[in-house]
Structure 1
Amino acid sequence: MKQISVLVVDDSAFMRKLIKEFLSEDPRINVLDTARNGQEAIDKIKKLEPDVVTMDVEMPVLNGIEAVKIIMKQHPVPIIMLSSTTKAGAENTILAMEAGAIDFIAKPSGAISLDLHKVKTALIEKVITSFKAKLKPVITARIPYINSTEQRIEKNEKTNLTKLVLIGTSTGGPRALQEVISNLPANIDAPIIVVQHMPPGFTQSLANRLDSLSEVKVKEAEQNESIKKGTVYIAPGGFHVRLQEKLGQAFLTIDKEPPVGGHRPAVNALFESAAKLKNYHKVAVIMTGMGSDGTLGIIELKKAGQTTVIAEAEESCIVYGMPKAAVLTKKVDEVVHLGSIARAIQNNL
């Protein structure tokens, strides 16, 4: 495998040096150069043609969000945002990903600390993943799903059941979620619970942004919250979200139990909890993301019955990891392009 060439963009000389040192420790990565602002980044991308760019959000001359917009139009390249965990930083990160950035990482702040090793490992992993990612998912029209006679009977049988929609996603998820959730009607006949792999401090901004773009209500999930139709609940960064039932009413629990498969929140934690709810028809959706989170949960859901599983098609995934692992279980009912997932969800309720 050839070395992955990287351009590091940050207005802080300390951060440029730090990120360059982090990445250079991995023999698979070659840091070509650094840039101090968005305009300098645009000029150097044209000249150097790096494989991956790490991009600060707040910079003079041209900030990260505007730079991403221009780069994705003029010279598309995988971009990883480095963001502060402040409210403004989180909001700007969501906007940068909406503009085309592949992924992000929370920026280390202050003096050298023990957390920097974690950041280094995550940054190297994200650079390697982004190098393999698809930049512009191809969203193609799909013929509306038509049930067979057997499936029509099943649909009639499940109309009396209470319904749940469960969505799991990771790398590329914020843009994929925007495509799906903004196309769901306000009167959808189910609550929607989402696990997006994200660290603390960013999921509230994601929920706010999706809420502003959608007919359904979108919010960050809260402890012991009863779930309602037409509302999307996003697992808070750093917390598992699980479903429980009491007196016929489903509600959410939030916890900081150990990571499941290396993730917290974990799709498996949500799916496995939903599998224990008996009087519900579930539609489980796995979208773009690295790894295999959600696969074990799908197996449990299908074992419990009354579940339809939808996986995002490879053609529209930024990273075809989680959907591929789901498909390999042979438990997936439909493989659907991103642009048709909202319709597929409604067809199966």
Structure 2
Amino acid sequence: MKPYRVLVVDDSAFMRKIISDLIENDANFQVAATAANGREAIDKVNELSPDLVTMDVEMPEMNGLEALKIIMAQRPLPVIMLSGINEEGMKETILALEWGAFDFIRKPSISNSQDIISVGVALREQMNEAMLARKQREARASAYKTPELPAADVPSVPEPMQSPAKRIMEPIKKFPDPASKLVEKPKVKPEMNLAPDKNKGKSSPGRTAPESGSPQLGAKSAAALSKPASDTMKNRSKEEAKPALPDSKPVPQTSTGARNDPPSVAGDRKSSYTGLSKLVAVGCSTGGPRALKEFLEHIPADFPAPIVIVQHMPPNFTKSLAQRLNTFSPLEVSEAEQGMILRKGAAYIAPGGYHMRVVPAAGGQYSIDLTLGEARNGHRPSVDTLFESILPYTSLERHAVIMTGMGSDGAKMMKSLYDSGVTSTFAESEETCVVYGMPRSAVELHCVRHILPLQEIAPRLVQAVK
């Protein structure tokens, strides 16, 4: 098999050399060319048609974010962003993931050989997953392809009947240039249910009929999405209604394992703490920022449960992600802090580098517990750790969701939840996943009751919880 051809884009010649060497440590990949800025990258993508691009976020003349938008509009292909850890770089990385980048890695420290090695391992893993995801999309496209007919006999096919595999080939159409019009969401296949029916005591694949009274949640207008948060009445009024939260960091463990006292979060609305009887736990990885945006912007502000979320990300990036998602969602979205009391109408994203658990608190409440334990399934935070923490709380109505991501994190503990009686379990279906790894693992364990395309998960969850 010929190696996949990669374009390396970075304004630093030394960094281009480092990234090129890391890529070619895998015989399946070959660096076809390099570029020093986004404008050169666009020209070389059009000229060489590479299989994959690694793209620095911050570059002179044209940065990686601007180049990404043009590439994904003209010639979509997997793009892995390389991001610095400064605040602006992190914010632009989150935007890049929304606008079609496959994933990102942080740029390695050129003075630390071990850091360069670890970044190389992560980069090669992402490249292989990107090529695997492309093969799977092409296989789905072939499966839906119909035999060719003579020109006079070819029937016209309405747009809604085109295959999901064809529609998913250009994911950037869901997140276009903010100045352009949004593309109408495609219709998708009916929900699949592959989990055992506990009421009937047997397992058989089938389709579940839509329940009556399912809420019809309309998409936001293009104008609302295209404007910055400060330019819309929705976000101005939302910001005025939010309590002021201190800019505190997660509380680490001491060397003895003891914990510092959790920070007190001032200004929270006490009324939303009382009567907590429902909880939603969500896990995702590669492709997760885009999936979380679609998911959270369709959960109403009066949602009667807190949502706790694990998104695989390095430290610091999760704060930028939470801030970005908060501008779109009717919920209060924040990066979780040690000791936060869970409340209805709020979503909490586990900070990178910390496991997040739900623990009992005084007065029958529940709070966030952050720990620095060993990585689990290769991740910290881990979805399995979050799901495991809610396993004992049988008095809570629990709902579990797994969306796009590499690997199998979360599947094992979703199975444990399901076996203990939690039947409100959701997984994103293959046709909308950037990587169908974590959801597939859960489906194969027969613990998923609702297998849905991304845009149907939030409405069905709202229906189940309300």
TM-score, normalised by the number of residues in structure 1: 0.93
What residue in structure 1 maps to residue 13 of structure 2? 13
Q: Per-residue displacement from partner, 1:27-58 (whole Å, max 9, x unpaired)?
A: 11111010000010011001111111000001
State which of 344, 352, 356 in structure 2 corresponds to 1:229.
344
SS of the residue aligned with 1:53? strand
Tell me how far 1:111 sits from its aligned partner: 2.0
Tell me how far 1:207 sits from its aligned partner: 0.2
Indicate if the aligned counterparts of 1:312 and 1:323 stay in contact, CA closer than 8 A: yes
CA distance in 2, matches of 1:118, 1:195: 22
State which of 170, 182, 186 in structure 1 corresponds to 2:285.
170
Gaps of 5+ in 1: 149-159
CA distance in 2, matches of 1:267, 1:44: 39
What residue in structure 2 maps to residue 331 of structure 1? 447
Q: Per-residue displacement from partner, 1:67-93 (whole Å, max 9, x unpaired)?
A: 111000001010000000111111110
Indicate if the aligned counterparts of 2:300 and 2:330 stay in contact, CA closer than 8 A: yes
Residues 139, 104 of structure 1: alpha-carbon distance in 2 compared, 3 angstrom cutoff: farther
1:84 aligns with 2:84: yes
Indicate if the aligned counterparts of 1:169 and 1:195 stay in contact, CA closer than 8 A: yes
What residue in structure 2 maps to residue 151 of structure 1? none
Tell me how far 1:300 sits from its aligned partner: 1.6
SS of the residue aligned with 1:261? coil
* Structure with larger RCO (C-alpha < 8 A, sep 6+): 1
Indicate if the aligned counterparts of 1:142 and 1:340 stay in contact, CA closer than 8 A: no
State which of 325, 330, 348 in structure 2 corresponds to 1:210.
325
Indicate if the aligned counterparts of 1:244 and 1:277 stay in contact, CA closer than 8 A: no
Indicate if the aligned counterparts of 1:316 and 1:337 stay in contact, CA closer than 8 A: yes
CA distance in 2, matches of 1:140, 1:267: 30
1:297 aligns with 2:331: no
Residues 233, 139 of structure 1: alpha-carbon distance in 2 compared, 3 angstrom cutoff: farther
What residue in structure 1 maps to residue 53 of structure 2? 53
CA distance in 2, matches of 1:61, 1:132: 33
CA distance in 1, matches of 2:26, 2:51: 15
Indicate if the aligned counterparts of 1:4 and 1:128 stay in contact, CA closer than 8 A: no
What residue in structure 2 maps to residue 153 of structure 1? none
Q: Per-residue displacement from partner, 1:267-325 (whole Å, max 9, x unpaired)?
A: 00000111111211111111001111111110121122244110001010010011110
Indicate if the aligned counterparts of 2:297 and 2:330 stay in contact, CA closer than 8 A: yes
Higher strand share: 1
Indicate if the aligned counterparts of 1:139 and 1:316 stay in contact, CA closer than 8 A: no
What residue in structure 2 maps to residue 238 of structure 1? 353
1:219 aligns with 2:334: yes
SS of the residue aligned with 2:334? strand
What residue in structure 1 maps to residue 217 of structure 2? none
State which of 108, 111, 136 in structure 1 corresponds to 2:170.
136
SS of the residue aligned with 1:203? helix
Count of equivalent residues? 338
CA distance in 1, matches of 2:382, 2:320: 19
SS of the residue aligned with 2:389? helix
SS of the residue aligned with 1:348? helix
1:279 aligns with 2:395: yes
Gaps of 5+ in 2: 135-168, 172-184, 192-208, 213-274
CA distance in 2, matches of 1:82, 1:41: 14
What residue in structure 2 maps to residue 265 of structure 1? 381
| 1:44-123 alignment runs, 5 A limit | 44-123=44-123
Indicate if the aligned counterparts of 2:276 and 2:344 stay in contact, CA closer than 8 A: no
CA distance in 2, matches of 1:314, 1:68: 24
| 1:123-202 alignment runs, 5 A limit | 123-133=123-133, 136-137=170-171, 140-141=187-188, 146-147=210-211, 162-202=277-317
RMSD of the TM alignment (CA)?
A: 1.7
Residues 205, 116 of structure 1: alpha-carbon distance in 2 compared, 3 angstrom cutoff: same
1:255 aligns with 2:363: no
The range that moved more, 39-48 or 103-112, is: 103-112
What residue in structure 2 maps to residue 312 of structure 1? 428
1:344 aligns with 2:460: yes
SS of the residue aligned with 2:124? helix
The range that moved more, 106-115 or 121-130, is: 106-115
Tell me how far 1:161 sits from its aligned partner: 7.8
If you compute each CA radius of gyration, which structure gives the higher value, 1 or 2?
2
Tell me how far 1:347 sits from its aligned partner: 1.3
Indicate if the aligned counterparts of 2:276 and 2:365 stay in contact, CA closer than 8 A: no
TM-score, normalised by the number of residues in structure 2: 0.70
Q: Per-residue displacement from partner, 1:221-274 (whole Å, max 9, x unpaired)?
A: 011111011111000001100011134211110011001111110000000111
Indicate if the aligned counterparts of 2:276 and 2:305 stay in contact, CA closer than 8 A: no
Indicate if the aligned counterparts of 2:110 and 2:116 stay in contact, CA closer than 8 A: no
Amino acid at match of 2:330: E
CA distance in 1, matches of 2:26, 2:113: 20
Amino acid at match of 1:253: D
CA distance in 1, matches of 2:439, 2:186: 16
